[in-house]
Amino acid sequence: MTSIPLMIDLKNKKTVVIGGGTLAERRIRTLLEGEASIHVISPEIRSTLYSFFKQGLLQWSEKKFVPGDLKDAALIIVATNDSEINQSVVQHAPAHAWINAVERASDGDVHFPSYFKRGRLSISVSTGGASPTLASKIKKQLEEQYDDSYEAYLDFLFEARTLLKESSLSHEKKKTLLKQLVIEDFMDTEKQKEMLDWLNKY
């Protein structure tokens, strides 16, 4: 399988999760960050998922999977501990839907990478299924390199870039400044303020 990384906005997109165990919970935690509309189909669900259900964060149908459950799904997470059921879900998935198959990734077409966020900065790591453990290890190393301070720095870069785009500065000057913002030491909040004040004049 050849995959490409893609950032996706799942807000209000119908996501059907078949199964309510450990793996379903891991996927649902990620999906909740993306504000997806989540519908869990499973005769039993873990207590954490039950509390999400009680808080109104997801819908839950307390029953076994039937093919009609997949109607209108944009994304389907196949996460039961029964291989035959998992295969049946994949077989009945509508052609338009994306599938994440936790038991055997190659049965689906979407992978979940290891990732972390620092505000607007997202860093994700995938090993193409070779070693999720290595992906997790690399992520931890990058988490140290790109620490919490990057959140504020990214907010600054966003604001500065927005001001630059709207400014009357020449195209060449804009290009030079965009490069300088990441080459020079603009992690310093004093320097950030000076730059924003300067940009606000143009």
Ligand X SMILES: C[C@@]1(CC(=O)O)C2=NC(=C\c3[nH]c(c(CCC(=O)O)c3CC(=O)O)Cc3[nH]c(c(CC(=O)O)c3CCC(=O)O)/C=C3\N/C(=C\2)[C@@H](CCC(=O)O)[C@]3(C)CC(=O)O)/[C@H]1CCC(=O)O
Which residues of the chain form contacts with ligand X (CB under 6 A)? 26, 100, 102, 104-105, 111-114, 126-129, 131-133, 135-136, 139
- Partner interacting with residue 43 (select from ligand X, ligand NAD, none; CB below 5-8 Å by kind): ligand NAD
Which residues share a beta bridge with 194?
none
Length of the chain equals 202
Closest CA to 158 of 133, 121, 117, 132: 121
Q: What element of type H or E holds 199?
A: helix 189-199
Among 8, 29, 35, 43, binds ligand NAD (CB under 6 A): 43
Q: Which is nearer to ligand NAD, 119 or 129 (CB)?
A: 129
- Binding partner of residue 141 among ligand NAD, ligand X, none, CB cut-off 5 to 8 Å per kind: none
Could you say whether residue 19 binds ligand NAD (CB under 6 A)? yes
Single out the residue of 10, 31, 41, 164 in contact with ligand NAD (rule: CB under 6 A).
41
Q: Closer to ligand NAD at the Cβ: 41 or 164?
A: 41
Nearer to ligand X, 114 or 192 (CB): 114
Quick one: which of 39, 50, 57, 82 contacts ligand NAD (CB under 6 A)? Answer: 82
When CB distances to ligand NAD are compared, the closest residue is: 21
Smallest gap from Cβ 120 to ligand X, in A, equals 20
Cα 41 from chain centre: 22
Q: Considering the rule CB under 6 A, would residue 102 count as an interface residue with ligand NAD?
A: yes
Structure tokens at 198: 């300067």
Please give the Cα distance from 145 to 167 (Å, whole number).
Answer: 33
CA torsion, ordered 45, 18, 104, 142, to nearest 10 deg: -70
Q: Which is nearer to ligand X, 57 or 142 (CB)?
A: 142
Say if strands 98-101 and 114-118 run parallel, antiparallel, or are unpaired.
unpaired
Residues 6+ apart with CB under 8 A from 62: 42, 43, 44, 45
Considering only CA atoms, which of 89, 72, 73 is closest in space to residue 81? 89
Which residues contact ligand NAD (rule: CB under 6 A)? 18-24, 41-45, 64-65, 79-82, 85, 102-103, 132
